[in-house]
């Protein structure tokens, strides 16, 4: 569908002249910016098959002449923009008008099956394919780290989950391919099991909750989206390979795709292997990673009215957990806190992954059927199944190290039906229903009483949204109702052990109002208000026992009530021209009955010694902050970016700070682009060389009391990175290569949101070398 639009665009602007002779054709055109609609100079236009290219002039025009009849691929690239590639069957002189979007100033239109679903009312940011490819060594969370308002909750270097505006885990929905990611999202030491390289775009919707997406989200949503398969008849693909010195890690990602009217397909595979990471001073033993992922996407359409889409993916990982962070009791923890280097630190590097470790598999199968009743009405039906298998291994006695200490299987079944109607003058109406069944089972192989009980939950939702675009104003309202039924089978804490059952029913309502006003052609204000309810999650109600990862006893509370949040965001954007933009987003979220783990004053005495006790409790809270982002281009050679995030979380009932709130941070980068290609011989040259210098400054979290944590938050740290990237052109082919160095000064630091900070430093200098080959 996306290409259908594009072809339409081509026809609209194409000036056709018949010409019988070959090799005399020309391709002309104009390139402009999607947002400001101004011409874009210095855009590189490259014909892949001829290894021939040109740049647009000051008015955004380009001309390519003396081209033979035939099939070509044209690549449009520009500093700070996502690259665009089109297929062209050249039979005559052709005019192409191209739109490029600056990645960070983009107002974030998500292309889902060709119809542009407008998200302009929701403040958002997105990570494009180029960034994903250049970070093949990163996980999903790592890709978002430098974005405003996004932080990472880490457990060492390999395990990370995103935090958006202070919310994570049960409060933040991640949609993989439109399906809410299931699994053990409650665990602070559990990464989302998604391969970002199967995606083309990762979008963070930072506004109040979009009611269309279920999943108990209280605010922001992360969308991981692959793009539709390009409508082009040739086999295309790419290979990305990245080597990273720190951890001696190899990552390889391959993608193949082909379109034919009978069936369009895409296969994406990723393999990763890392050994021990290293801080500035010592190895972090047992922090290796092994990962193998595969995704298959199939698309078929019938008469441009019925679209079928099938997606299946499997994600498999083994993650080592720093051996020195696995401790027995409070005495061990106190000992670890005063140790300069963690226990079990070895002077040698190793790829071996021993206990403690996590082995997680996540499988997803999804089918989507979309039917265009007419030009205005669409019906969409989606079914999806997920299986999340998590096994965590601890160091145990008598050969039990090979038996998982936690072993959970979770099946999730999603089905949804959605009706969309575009009517009248720019009105859009949506009505939908969604069912999610979750079945969570502990495997008794562990020989340990489970922390999370077995349960089944059944959730049904109904939502409706209405939006309207006027000349200068867009608005959007939405309402959603969810019913959730939980059937839980817990095992008693006392002996003799017996099964204690609970059934719960919850009714949740969420609502949304969003509006955007274009004050002038270059300035806009977006206002977003959302109310959402989240019923207590299973872990918050029933967890009981020792959570090894945090060295504490966590006690759920069966009397917890539903938490409710009201979030307001106000965003101002100013885009005076293509060379400069600034945006500021202020947000405030008020929670009633905010559920949190409260450290208790008592210590629980067990045979293993004393343990701190954490109870799930409720309070009222506020989280507010400011995200500022600006970027500017100087003479189309230098591209600079500055981002600042401020956040504060308060427990307003007890008048104390909230724990685990991201510290304020600043990110800046400056890119210099070498404008002219360098030719080595007639068929080898390099072009689009870029040199980047970046810096991330993370301030000390001062908004916390000494009594709220075992250790005070680590001091402010500053990380500097450099990156050089270039494109090698060998006759027909283009190979992208890059070299990156992170933490170039090899500083020692610890991060407040890295739970391993009690035991070890964060990782030191790392150099990365990557190549990307597309055909």
Partner 1 sequence: MKNLFLPLLLATILIFSACKKDDPVIVDEEELITTLRYTLTPATGGSAIILSFQDLDGDGGNAPTITGGTLAANQTYSGTLELLNETESPAESITEEIMEEQEEHQFFFQSTISDLTVAYNDRDANGDPLGLSSTLTTGSAASGALTIVLRHEPNKSAAGVADGNIASAGGETDIEVTFPIDVQ
Shortest Cβ distance from residue 282 to partner 1 (Å)?
15
Stretch of residues binding partner 1 (CB under 8 A), selected from 215-223, 229-237, 452-460, 668-676: 452-460
Q: Which is nearer to partner 1, 145 or 439 (CB)?
A: 439
Residues with Cβ within 8 Å of 384's Cβ and at least 6 positions away in sequence, in order, are 179, 364, 365, 366, 367, 413, 414, 415
| Residues in 356-385 that interact with partner 1 by CB under 8 A | 367, 369, 381, 383, 385
Q: What does the alpha-carbon distance between residue 454 and residue 410 come to, in Å, rounded to a whole number?
A: 10
Q: Which is nearer to partner 1, 550 or 698 (CB)?
A: 550
Asked if 489 is part of the footprint of partner 1 (rule: CB under 8 A), the reply reads: yes
Stretch of residues binding partner 1 (CB under 8 A), selected from 17-25, 33-41, 496-504, 747-755: 496-504
Shortest Cβ distance from residue 337 to partner 1 (Å)?
14
Q: What does the alpha-carbon distance between residue 545 and residue 449 come to, in Å, rounded to a whole number?
A: 8
Pairing of strands 665-673, 656-657: unpaired
Q: Which is nearer to partner 1, 31 or 448 (CB)?
A: 448
**Contact pick of 437, 466, 558, 747 for partner 1 (by CB under 8 A):** 437
Burial 394-406 (b: 16+ CB within 10 A, else e): bebeeebbebbbb
Q: Which is nearer to partner 1, 72 or 455 (CB)?
A: 455
Shortest Cβ distance from residue 264 to partner 1 (Å)?
17
Q: Which is nearer to partner 1, 462 or 678 (CB)?
A: 462
Q: Which residue has the tokens 């009505």?
A: 431
Q: Which is nearer to partner 1, 453 or 625 (CB)?
A: 453
395-404 long-range contacts (CB < 8 A, ≥24 apart) are 395/323, 395/326, 395/355, 395/356, 396/355, 400/447, 401/354, 401/355, 403/445, 403/446, 403/447, 404/359, 404/443, 404/445, 404/446
Burial class (CB within 10 angstroms; exposed 0-12, middle 13-18, buried 19+) of 672:
middle
| Residues in 669-698 that interact with partner 1 by CB under 8 A | none
Asked if 343 is part of the footprint of partner 1 (rule: CB under 8 A), the reply reads: yes
**Contact pick of 70, 511, 545, 677 for partner 1 (by CB under 8 A):** 545
**Contact pick of 22, 505, 606, 654 for partner 1 (by CB under 8 A):** 606
Q: What does the alpha-carbon distance between residue 16 and residue 202 come to, in Å, rounded to a whole number?
A: 38
**Contact pick of 441, 522, 708, 720 for partner 1 (by CB under 8 A):** 441
Please spell the DSSP secondary structure of 549-618, one letter per residue.
GGTEEEE--TT---EEEEEEEEEEEEEEETTEEEEEEEEEEEEEEEEEEEEEEEEEEETTEEEEEEEEEE
Site size with partner 1, rule: CB under 8 A: 61
Radius of gyration for the alpha carbons in the chain, expressed in angstroms and rounded? 27
**Contact pick of 12, 15, 607, 706 for partner 1 (by CB under 8 A):** 607
Shortest Cβ distance from residue 331 to partner 1 (Å)?
6
Q: What does the alpha-carbon distance between residue 517 and residue 527 come to, in Å, rounded to a whole number?
A: 9
**Contact pick of 237, 328, 511, 737 for partner 1 (by CB under 8 A):** 328
Q: What does the alpha-carbon distance between residue 395 and residue 375 come to, in Å, rounded to a whole number?
A: 61
Would you state the structure tokens that stand for residue 252, as one six-digit string?
Answer: 């390889």
Q: Which residue has the tokens 């990464």?
A: 191
Pairing of strands 552-555, 609-634: parallel
**Contact pick of 110, 267, 296, 449 for partner 1 (by CB under 8 A):** 449
Q: Give the DSSP H or E segment for 298.
A: strand 289-302
Question: Do 45 and 62 meet the contact criterion of CB atoms below 8 Å apart?
Answer: yes
Stretch of residues binding partner 1 (CB under 8 A), selected from 194-202, 462-470, 540-548, 763-771: 540-548
Shortest Cβ distance from residue 283 to partner 1 (Å)?
16
Stretch of residues binding partner 1 (CB under 8 A), selected from 15-23, 372-380, 450-458, 766-774: 450-458
Stretch of residues binding partner 1 (CB under 8 A), selected from 69-77, 94-102, 454-462, 684-692: 454-462
**Contact pick of 159, 198, 488, 763 for partner 1 (by CB under 8 A):** 488
**Contact pick of 300, 376, 396, 685 for partner 1 (by CB under 8 A):** 396
Q: Which is nearer to partner 1, 42 or 611 (CB)?
A: 611
Q: Which is nearer to partner 1, 432 or 663 (CB)?
A: 432
| Residues in 555-594 that interact with partner 1 by CB under 8 A | 555
Asked if 334 is part of the footprint of partner 1 (rule: CB under 8 A), the reply reads: no
End-to-end CA distance of the chain: 22
The shares of helix, strand and coil residues in the chain, as percent rounded to the nearest 5, are: 10, 55, 35
Q: What does the alpha-carbon distance between residue 434 and residue 459 come to, in Å, rounded to a whole number?
A: 8
Residues with Cβ within 8 Å of 635's Cβ and at least 6 positions away in sequence, in order, are none
Q: Which is nearer to partner 1, 30 or 535 (CB)?
A: 535
| Residues in 409-428 that interact with partner 1 by CB under 8 A | 413, 415
Sites of contact with partner 1 (CB under 8 A)? 326-329, 331-332, 335, 343-344, 367, 369, 381, 383, 385, 395-398, 400, 413, 415, 435, 437, 439, 441-442, 444, 446-450, 453-456, 458, 485, 487-489, 491, 493-495, 497-499, 544-546, 553, 555, 604-611
């Amino acid at each position: 569908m996306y290409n259908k639009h594009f072809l339409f665009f081509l026809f609209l602007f194409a000036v056709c002249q018949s010409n019988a002779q070959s090799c005399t054709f020309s391709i002309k055109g104009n390139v402009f910016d999607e947002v400001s609609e101004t011409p874009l100079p210095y855009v590189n236009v490259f014909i892949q098959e001829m290894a021939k290219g040109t740049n647009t002039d000051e008015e955004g025009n380009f001309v390519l002449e003396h081209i033979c009849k035939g099939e070509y691929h044209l690549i449009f690239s520009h500093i700070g923009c996502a690259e665009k590639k089109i297929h062209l069957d050249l039979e005559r002189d052709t005019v192409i008008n191209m739109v490029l979007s600056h990645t960070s100033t983009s107002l974030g239109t998500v292309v889902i099956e060709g119809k542009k679903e407008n998200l302009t009312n929701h403040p958002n940011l997105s990570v494009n394919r180029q960034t994903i490819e250049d970070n093949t060594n990163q996980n999903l969370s790592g890709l978002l780290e430098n974005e405003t308002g996004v932080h990472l909750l880490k457990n060492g270097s390999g395990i990370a989950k995103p935090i958006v505006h202070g919310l994570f885990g049960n409060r933040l929905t991640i949609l993989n391919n439109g399906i809410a990611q299931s699994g053990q999202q409650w665990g602070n030491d559990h990464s989302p099991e998604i391969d970002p390289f199967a995606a083309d775009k990762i979008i963070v919707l930072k506004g109040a909750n979009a009611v269309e997406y279920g999943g108990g989200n209280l605010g922001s949503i992360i969308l991981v989206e692959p793009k539709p398969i390009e409508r082009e008849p040739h086999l295309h693909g790419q290979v990305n390979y990245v080597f990273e010195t720190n951890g001696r890690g190899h990552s390889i990602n391959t993608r193949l795709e082909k379109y034919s009217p009978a069936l369009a397909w895409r296969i994406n595979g990723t393999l990763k292997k890392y050994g021990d990471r290293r801080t500035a001073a010592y190895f972090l033993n047992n922090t290796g990673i092994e990962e193998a992922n595969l995704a298959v996407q199939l698309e078929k359409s019938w008469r441009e009215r019925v679209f079928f889409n099938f997606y299946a993916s499997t994600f498999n990982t083994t993650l080592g957990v720093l051996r020195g962070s696995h401790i027995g009791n409070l005495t061990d923890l106190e000992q670890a806190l005063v140790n300069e280097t963690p226990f079990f630190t070895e002077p040698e590097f190793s790829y071996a992954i021993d206990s403690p470790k996590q082995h997680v598999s996540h499988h997803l199968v999804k089918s989507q059927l979309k039917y265009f009743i007419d030009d205005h009405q669409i019906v969409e039906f989606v079914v999806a199944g997920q299986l999340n298998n998590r096994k965590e291994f601890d160091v145990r006695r008598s050969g039990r190290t090979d038996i998982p200490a936690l072993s959970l299987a979770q099946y999730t079944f999603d089905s949804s039906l959605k009706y969309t109607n575009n009517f009248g003058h720019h009105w859009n109406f949506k009505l939908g229903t969604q069912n999610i069944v979750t079945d969570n089972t502990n495997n008794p192989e562990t020989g340990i009483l489970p922390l999370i009980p077995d349960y089944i939950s059944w959730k049904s939702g109904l939502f409706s949204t209405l939006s309207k675009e006027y000349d200068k104003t867009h608005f959007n309202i939405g309402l959603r109702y969810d019913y959730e039924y939980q059937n839980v089978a817990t095992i008693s804490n006392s002996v003799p052990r017996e099964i204690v059952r609970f059934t719960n029913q919850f009714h949740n309502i969420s609502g949304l109002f969003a509006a955007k006003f274009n004050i002038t052609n270059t300035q806009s204000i977006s206002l977003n208000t959302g109310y959402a309810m989240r019923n207590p999650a299973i872990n918050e109600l029933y967890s009981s026992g020792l959570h090894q990862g945090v060295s504490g006893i966590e006690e759920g509370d069966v009397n917890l009530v539903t938490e409710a949040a009201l979030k307001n965001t106000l965003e101002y954007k100013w885009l005076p021209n293509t060379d400069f933009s600034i945006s500021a987003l202020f947000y405030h979220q008020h929670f009633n009955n905010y559920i949190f783990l409260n450290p208790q004053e008592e210590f629980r005495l067990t045979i293993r010694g004393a343990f701190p006790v954490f109870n799930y409790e409720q309070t009222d809270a506020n989280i507010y902050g400011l995200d500022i982002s600006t970027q500017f281009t100087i003479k189309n050679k230098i591209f600079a970016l500055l981002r600042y995030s401020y956040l504060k979380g308060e427990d307003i009932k007890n008048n104390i700070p909230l724990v685990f709130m991201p510290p304020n941070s600043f990110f800046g980068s400056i890119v210099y682009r070498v404008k002219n290609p360098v030719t080595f011989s007639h068929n080898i040259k390099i072009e689009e060389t870029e040199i980047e210098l970046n810096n991330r400054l993370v301030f000390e979290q001062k908004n916390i009391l000494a009594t709220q944590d075992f250790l005070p938050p680590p001091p402010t740290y500053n990380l500097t990175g450099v990156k050089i990237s270039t494109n090698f052109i060998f006759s027909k082919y283009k190979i992208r290569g890059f070299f990156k160095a992170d933490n170039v000064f090899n500083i020692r630091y610890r991060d407040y949101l890295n739970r391993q900070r009690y035991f070890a430093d964060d990782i030191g200098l790392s150099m990365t070398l990557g190549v990307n080959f597309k055909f």
